[in-house]
Amino acid sequence: MSVLNFKNPDWYDEEDINIFRDAAYNFYKNEMAPHSESFRKNKVVDRKFWNQAGAMGLLCPTMPEEYGGVGGDYRLEMIVMEELERAEVDGFGLSLHNAIVAPYILHYGTEEQKQKWLPKMATGEFVGAIAMTEPGTGSDLQSVKTSAKKDGNGWVINGSKTFITNGGTANLIIVVADTGGEGKHSKSLFVVETDDLEGFRRGRILDKVGGEAQDTAELFFDDMKVPADSLLGPEPGMGFIQLMQELPQERLNIAVQGVANMEKALRHTIEYVKERKAFGRRILDFQNTQFELAELKTIATVAKTFTYDCAEKHLRGELDTVTASMAKYWVTDKECEIMDRCLQLFGGYGFMNEYPIARQWRASRVQRIYGGTNEIMKVLISRSL
């Protein structure tokens, strides 16, 4: 039972789901959590854990069995994300690999492309990333400058990307590139196998404010030649439409992670204020502490209720872009509020890196930026008014 005393709804409390949840938590807690400090120091999760996660069925759990997946639904993706937080494992980019990269291939790839890439993603032989953001574009995907031009039977890609999650590890990367055409029909997606690929170069593993264990990197393409079957979709110019169709799930992922972060922060804070004393009393015994935690528990419970309602809609195929945008913006705003107020209850110790709340406070800030900034979410919501 979580600190929220939140009973999972029936659709998220089935025997098979709970077995998967227990297996994921035990793997994260027993096999990975002991190495968290090493992950943060090296700015990357060791590559072997991708293969181990694949053997555990934690990679591509919603992909059909004929492509190497488990054949489950979005509930398994939620578990993969939630249990990472509960087990205190930082920086493992499974949700991007599983719930963003793989669905692009499943939904828009040819049968040959699915057979070629998805089974290797399920085992961890391929680690996925998606290269959207460029130094000068941010959330403005229509301004992407990376270009892809036809060259004989293939394509030549030139440009650069930044802030790429899994960028230091990934060897199967979806690249957003301009292929000409007008407006929304000017962008295309290419699935690129990077091992020994001429013209592909990784830049720095970026030094971030938080989330140190996540290998976020720069990528460079210098006359990078890829075969014709790297194009995702039946023809060039479909990239922007494909991106827009997949973004609701990406934004729901961020809300799910945000709620899990809230719960983790509250758990650490409640444990601390029960033990820490000031002026001869436990911090918890002060009415201000009680009022603060009452408010934060309420916020987190509302956030979880809304996010789970979105997830249930998504399972039915009914989650729209506007509702997903509301979840992403509101939950992550409240996530950062909870982190700040929890840290305050730790006093000076909250500012020490040895306390998990300090790392959470820093790491949560990016949730309001990636997946489309919260300002962009408000633009999308306002269009529905």
Q: Which range of residues forms the domain containing residue 119?
A: 10-94+110-126
Q: Look up residue 316 and give its DSSP letter.
A: T
What are the tens digits of pLDDT across the range 317-342? 999 999 999 999 999 999 999 999 99
Tell me whether residue 250 is one of the annotated catalytic residues: yes
What are the tens digits of pLDDT across the range 271-297? 999 999 999 999 999 999 999 999 999
Residue in 250, 295, 335, 337 annotated catalytic: 250
Same domain, 254 and 154: no
Structure tokens at 78: 């939620």
Whether residue 264 is contained in a domain is answered as yes
Same domain, 211 and 251: no
pLDDT above 70 (res 1): no
* 51 to 48, 123, 342: CA distances (angstroms): 5, 6, 36
Last residue of a domain, one of 189, 207, 237: 237
Q: Look up residue 143 and give its DSSP letter.
A: G
b/e burial code for range 109-129 (CB count within 10 A of at least 16 → b): beeebbebbbbbbbebbbbbb
Q: Smallest Cα–Cα separation from 121: which of 86, 155, 96, 88?
A: 96
In the prediction, which pLDDT does 203 show? 95
Provide the CATH number for the domain around residue 313.
Answer: 1.20.140.10
